[in-house]
Amino acid sequence: MTNFAALHREYEAETIGRQIWDLLLEITKSVAHRYPPNVYNQGESWHAGSYEELAQDVAVDLLLAENQIRYIFDIAQGIEDVRRLLVRQVKRALYRRRYPTVVDRLLARARRIASEPPFTIQEVGSQRWVTLSDEPRPFRDLNDAELRSAVGVAHGVPRLIASPRAERASMVYTTPALRELLGLVVGELGGLSERDLARIFENLLTAWLPSSLGDGEGAEPSAAEAPGTADMSLAASELGDTIRMFTASLDNVDATVLLGKAQGFSDDALARRLGRSRPWVADRKKALLDRLTDDLMSDVEEDQRDEAARLLIDELSAGFEERES
C-alpha cells in the first residue's frame, strides 16, 4: 500500500508519477460513478475509459495547469489529506463539465430580470451590458480585483443546494435571490457585461461545490454491489417518504432557516433576510432543529442520518424550485 512518504518523494522527483496517478484514478472512479453520466459525462456511461479521461482532465487542467498538485503537497500532513484534497479536485473537474448548463440558465434568468427597472440592458457591439437605469457608467471589462470584489459582494446571497443525483441543472438561486445578487454586483460596479456576469457566476459556483456536490471520499456501493439490495431499497423508499412529509409541513420561513443553516449563514444574516430579530431567528432555528430531531431523525437509523440530512436539503431546494417553475 502506498504511503505518504513515497507519494511525497514521487511528487518531488516527477510531480505526477505512477503512484500519484494510480491514486488519482482510484479516487476518480470512487467519486464519479455517483454522478449521472448524462449530466457529467456527455451522456456516455461511466466505464474504464471515461474514468481515465476524467482523471486526465484533473491532472492536466487542475493539478498541473493550476498548480494544485503543489498546493496539495504543501499542506498535506498524511495520505488521508492527499486523498481528501484529490477528491475535491475531482469534484471540481466534474462540476466544470456542468458549468455550461448552469451558467447559461442563470444568464437567461438574469437577462429577464435585468430587462425591468431598476436595471436596463444595453447592447454595444456583440456584447450585452447590464446597468442601473438611473446610473449608467462607461462600459469596460472587469479587472481581476473588481471580479474578486463582485464575487465577495454576491457570496452572501443564499443559494439552493443541488443534489449530485439530479438529472438536470439546479436553478441555484430563487428569483428574488438572483434579483438581489444583480442589484448588489451592479450597484457595486455600476454596470457589467454578460461575459463578466458569467465569470462571477462561475466563481460563485466553485464556492458552491462543497454543499452541492456532497462530501466524503468513499464510494457508495452500486445496486449491483450492495448486499441486501431489496431491503435497502425499501428502507430508502420509506426514508424518502418520511422526509417528503416532513418538508411538506414546513413554510417558506422554516425552509429558509434550514437552508441557511446548511450553508453556514449566521443568525444575523438570516434575520436581515427575513426581516426579523436575531433572537427570533435563533429561537426559530432551535425549535426547528428540535422538531427535526424528534419528528424525523429519531426514526432514522444512525448509519442513515447523513443520507437523511442530504435528502432533506435536496427536498427543501427542490421545493423552492417547484414554486418558481
Q: What is the pLDDT of residue 207?
A: 53
Q: Are 267 and 278 in contact (CB under 8 A)?
A: yes
Q: What is the pLDDT of residue 209?
A: 45
Residues 16 and 93 in one domain: yes
Domain for residue 14, yes or no?
yes
Residues 197 and 249 in one domain: no
Q: Are 257 and 270 in contact (CB under 8 A)?
A: yes
- Grid cell of 313 as nine digits: 436539503
How far is residue 193's CA from residue 124's CA, in Å, rounded to a whole number?
Answer: 10
Residues 76 and 135 in one domain: no
Residues 134 and 187 in one domain: yes
Name the domain count of the chain.
3
State yes or no: pLDDT of 14 exceeds 50.
yes
- Which of 97, 120, 137 marks a domain boundary? 97
Where in the sequence is the domain holding 264, given as residue range(s)? 239-324
Residues 12 and 70 in one domain: yes
State yes or no: pLDDT of 223 exceeds 80.
no
Domain for residue 221, yes or no?
no
CA Rg value for the chain: 22
Domain for residue 232, yes or no?
no
Residues 113 and 184 in one domain: yes
Region 26-35 average pLDDT: 92
Residues 84 and 131 in one domain: no
State yes or no: pLDDT of 67 exceeds 60.
yes
Residue 127, H or E segment = strand 127-132
pLDDT in tens, 91-149: 888 877 876 677 888 898 999 999 999 998 988 777 888 988 776 666 788 888 888 88
Domain for residue 217, yes or no?
no
- Grid cell of 51 as nine digits: 474514468
Domain for residue 61, yes or no?
yes
Q: What is the pLDDT of residue 315?
A: 77
Instruction: With cut-offs at 50, 70 and 90, classify the pLDDT of residue 231.
Output: very low
Lowest mean pLDDT among 30-34, 156-160, 319-323: 319-323
- Which of 49, 66, 97 marks a domain boundary? 97
- Which of 97, 125, 144 marks a domain boundary? 97
Residues 11 and 72 in one domain: yes
Residue 74: Cβ-neighbour burial (10 angstroms; 0-12, 13-18, 19+):
exposed
Residues 119 and 87 in one domain: no
Q: What is the pLDDT of residue 92?
A: 85
Domain for residue 216, yes or no?
no
Q: What average pLDDT does the chain have?
A: 80
State yes or no: pLDDT of 162 exceeds 90.
no
Distance of CA 126 to the CA centre of its chain: 31
pLDDT in tens, 94-109: 877 876 677 888 898 9
Q: What is the pLDDT of residue 309?
A: 76
Residues 150 and 182 in one domain: yes
Domain for residue 208, yes or no?
no
Domain for residue 258, yes or no?
yes
Residues 197 and 268 in one domain: no
Residues 130 and 172 in one domain: yes
